[in-house]
Amino acid sequence: MKPRKFFAIGLSIYGLRSKPMLLLYGCALLFFSSVKGQQGRLFTFLNYNTKYGFEKDSALTANYVDWVKKLAPDVIAYQEMNGFTQNDIGNLAKRYGHPYAVIMNREYGVPVTHPLAITSKYPILDVRRVMDNLWHGYLYAKINGIHFFITHLAPFTLEDRQKDIRKIVAQMQSIPKNEMVVLAGDFNALSSMDSPSYGDDLLNAMKRSEGKFIKKSGTPILRNRTVHRRNLNNGQIDYSVIQELIDAGFEDSFYLRNDAFKNSVPTEKYRKESSFLRRIDYIWVNGRLSKKVEYSDILKDSLTDRLSDHYPVILKLKL
């Protein structure tokens, strides 16, 4: 306020008190204030694996709606929106102020068991729902000038995850480098940047489960295949899936603003089922967007401790 008062005094000193001149300078002040505000605007993106759409629990969903209203993200990406229709995701989005929503499910001829979804404050453009021999596929959309790729990589075998990520990376690399690109989701994969937090106990647990028959074999989620768990890479913890992204020039937004490891699974509610802390939920950005990352984190509080078996991941961009 003080600079504006000083400026008005300056006008009177030099005799510029006429209404046209004051109006002109007033408009100039408003213009430059508006430009400054636009340059500093924060765009907030949330990614969340909801564990089967919060298991369709109305109380959990209501708690989530209250929580996300306070957070007020511009765009939200979801994994595991099981049981949700296009109408369901649209109604959920409206409850927290998002007028736009899309889902990737059988309504659109996509044979997925764990639907992906996006909701937004802004129009969701150029939507593509891609299976293309992928595990859960990916959902693409352009929102507010940003290319979004939302995915959920294969959970049971390294070979399937590698196929998934290579196809997605190839698609992202077809976008000009001066464009803004975000890739987010549940990757079911570990990063070498977190390797100091993964010790022999985790490796031994993975070795014990290696080769085990997956009881869901023959069901649609496994595309009617017989599947045995194969997640190790030559008997060691695998980091190759995430390395594909690093080698392609994408950056892990979490480590652009954090120095210490933080797990995205399991949440406190599910610690008894899986005691090994891992980070498998990520938001990746391309080179252009990496310079605009203001904040990125894994959101932990008393509510997200119990809403799902995954914690949500947040990204704030200065656009």
CA–CA gap between residue 116 and residue 76 (Å, rounded): 11
Q: Give the pLDDT score at 315.
A: 99
- Taking 70 as the pLDDT cut, the residues of the chain under it are 1-39
Rg (CA), the chain: 23
* Residue whose structure tokens are 């004051």: 22
Q: Give the pLDDT score at 12.
A: 40
What amino acid occupies position 38? Q
Q: Give the pLDDT score at 24.
A: 55
CA–CA gap between residue 52 and residue 82 (Å, rounded): 5
CA–CA gap between residue 72 and residue 46 (Å, rounded): 10
The pTM for the full model equals 0.88
196-252 residue pLDDT tens:
999 999 999 999 999 999 998 888 888 788 999 999 999 999 999 999 999 999 999
Cis preceding linkage at 123, omega within 30:
no
Phi, psi of 165 (to 5 degrees): -70, -35
Q: Give the pLDDT score at 30.
A: 53
The residue among 119, 111, 116, 122 whose CA lies nearest residue 92 is: 119
Orientation angle between helical segments 86-95 and 58-71, nearest 10 degrees = 50
Location of each CATH 3.60.10.10 domain in the chain: 42-318
Task: Please give the class, per CATH, of domain 42-318.
Answer: alpha beta
Mean pLDDT of the chain: 91
